[in-house]
Amino acid sequence: MRKICIVTGSRSEYGLLYWLMKEIDQDKYLTLQTVVTGMHLSPEFGCTYQKIEKDGFVIDRKIEMLLSSDTPIGVSKSMGLAQISFSEVFYDLNPDIVVVLGDRTEIFSAVSAAMVLNIAIAHISGGELTLGAIDDAIRHSITKMSHLHFVSTETYRKRVIQMGEAPERVFNFGESGLDNIYKLPLLKKPDFEESINWTLKDKSILFTYHSVTLELPDKVKNDVICILDFLSELNDTSVIITKSNSDSGGRLINSILKKYASKNNHFMLFDSLGQIRYLSALRYVDAVVGNTSSGLVEAPSFNIGSINIGNRQLGRERAASVIDCMPEKSSLTEAFGKLYSDEFQSKLKNIQNPYGTGGGSAKIKNVLKDVSLNQLTFKEFVDY
C-alpha cells in the first residue's frame, strides 16, 4: 500500500484538495494520511479541522503553530516551530509521497522537513505568480524542493520547466479545485439564503480581502478602509464578507471588517462559509470582489464578474471576466460601473475559464499511484 500524505493548513486549501483526498481514500492500492495545521486548528478562524472530520476523513496528526501573532517575526517563529513538528510527524508516518498545494508559510515548513527526510514531494499549483505577496518566493522555493509538479495552465507548466524541472515530471491537469463545482451538491437560492440567515438584495457581491504582505501595514489598513467606505455606500447591494486569512496583517483586516459589518446592515461577515456555501454563493452573487484567488480561478466557471483590487494577484492568469482596479474610490467606481454595464454582462455568458473544467483530481491520483518511487527524490537541474 503506497502511503500518500496530504498536508493542509487552511479552509480554502482544503477545499481545493478535497476531491484528490477522496480519490486517494477510495483507492484500494493507496493509503491516505492527513496532516492538519495552521488556521484549521484556530478557534479564531473557525476550527475548520472539524469540517475535515465531518467529511469523513481521519486526521492522522494535528500540528499546532504559534498563531497568536500575525507579525512578521511571529509568522517566522511559527514556521520554525512547524518545521520541527513536521519532521517528527513525517518520521513517524513514513509516507511515500507528501502532497502539498500552494504557497503558504506552513506548507514551506512541511516541504522543508520532507526534503531533509528524503521523502518525495508533490506540489500542486506551482508556476503561478502573485507579485504583491511573499507567496511568490515561497511558491517557487517549494517548486525547487518538490519532485512532482501539478500545474493549472500551460503557461505555469512552462514556467516550472523554465526553473530547471524535468518536463516529464510537470503535469498540466488544470485546476483540481474546480472539481468542487461539478461534483458538490450546491444549494438552491432559498436554501443558501436560509443557511446564512439572510435574504439577498437584487444586487449582491462576495467580498474577501487578504493582507498584501509586501506592502506596509499602514497602506494595507488605509486600502481596506477605502474599499469598505466605498462598499458602505452601496445600500442597494448585499455584501457577503469572509474574513482574511492568518497572513501577517490578517488580524488587523479582520478587526476592521468586524467594525464595518457592525454598522452596515447590508454587510454580513463570516469567519468561513465552508466550501458548499461559498461555491453556492458564487451562483447567486454578481461578482467576487477583493484580492482573493477565487475571483480568478473559480468565479469564471460561474460566468460572473470579478473585481480584483490591488496588486496581490498581479501576474496570475485571468479570464476576460476579471476587472482589475486599485483601492481608490475613483477606480472602484469605474470598476463597478463596468461590472453592471450591459456590454460586460453580455460578455460574461461566453467566458472561458483558463484554469480548465475540472477532472484534475483523478488524474493527479493516478500519477501518484503509478509513478515509480525509484530515485524519485533524485533531481537534476535541466538546462535549456
Whether residue 81 lies inside any domain: the answer is yes
Is 384 a domain residue? Answer: no
- Give tens-digit pLDDT for 109-154: 999 999 999 999 999 999 998 766 677 889 999 999 999 999 999 9
Is 110 within a domain?
A: yes
Query: Are both 268 and 366 inside the same structural domain?
Result: no
In a domain, 251, yes or no: yes
Shared domain for 200 and 154, answered yes or no, is: no
For 139-157, letters b (16+ CB in 10 Å) and e give: bbebbbbbbbbbbbbeebb
Residue 111 belongs to what domain range?
A: 2-174+359-370
What's the CATH code of the domain at 119? 3.40.50.2000
The backbone torsions φ and ψ at residue 358, rounded to the nearest 5 degrees and listed phi first, read 90, 180
Name the nearest CA neighbour of 42 among 278, 271, 292, 274: 271
In-domain check, residue 181: no
* Helices and strands per DSSP (H, E), number in the chain: 15, 13
Do residues 54 and 159 share a domain? yes
Are both 244 and 139 inside the same structural domain?
A: no
Give the pTM.
0.85
Does 304 reside within a domain? yes
Residue with cell 507579525: 71
* Phi, psi dihedral angles at 27 (to 5 degrees): -90, 120
pLDDT digits (tens, 9 = 90+) for 50-74: 989 999 999 999 998 865 667 788 8
Q: Are residues 197 and 304 in the same domain?
A: yes
Residue 376 lies in a domain: no
Give yes or no: residues 165 and 225 share one domain: no
Claim to verify: residue 338 and residue 239 sit in the same structural domain: yes
- What average pLDDT does the chain have? 93
Question: Under DSSP, is residue 83 helix (H, G, I), strand (E, B) or coil?
Answer: helix
DSSP state of 197: T
Count structural domains, the chain.
2
Say whether both 241 and 278 belong to one domain.
yes
Residue 377, judged by CB atoms within 10 A of its CB (0-12, 13-18, 19+), counts as middle
Instruction: Round to whole Å and give the CA distance between 383 and 375.
Output: 20
Q: CA angle at residue 119 from 114 to 121, to 5 degrees?
A: 75
Residue 193 and residue 321 in one domain: yes
Q: Are residues 219 and 308 in the same domain?
A: yes
User: Which tens digits make up the pLDDT trace of 270-307?
Assistant: 988 988 999 999 999 999 999 999 999 999 999 999 99
Q: Are residues 156 and 190 in the same domain?
A: no
- Written as tens digits, the pLDDT of the chain (384 aa) is 999 999 999 888 898 999 999 999 999 999 999 999 988 888 777 788 998 999 999 999 999 886 566 778 888 888 999 999 999 999 999 999 999 998 889 999 999 999 999 999 999 999 998 766 677 889 999 999 999 999 999 999 999 999 999 999 999 999 998 999 999 999 999 999 999 999 999 999 999 999 887 777 889 899 999 999 999 999 999 999 999 876 677 888 999 999 999 999 999 999 889 889 999 999 999 999 999 999 999 999 999 999 999 988 888 899 999 999 999 999 999 999 999 999 999 999 999 999 999 999 999 999 999 999 999 999 999 997
Same domain, 89 and 126: yes
Measured in degrees and rounded to the nearest 5, phi and psi for residue 32 equal -85, 130
CA atoms within 13 A on the CB side of 268: 18
Q: Domain for residue 44, yes or no?
A: yes
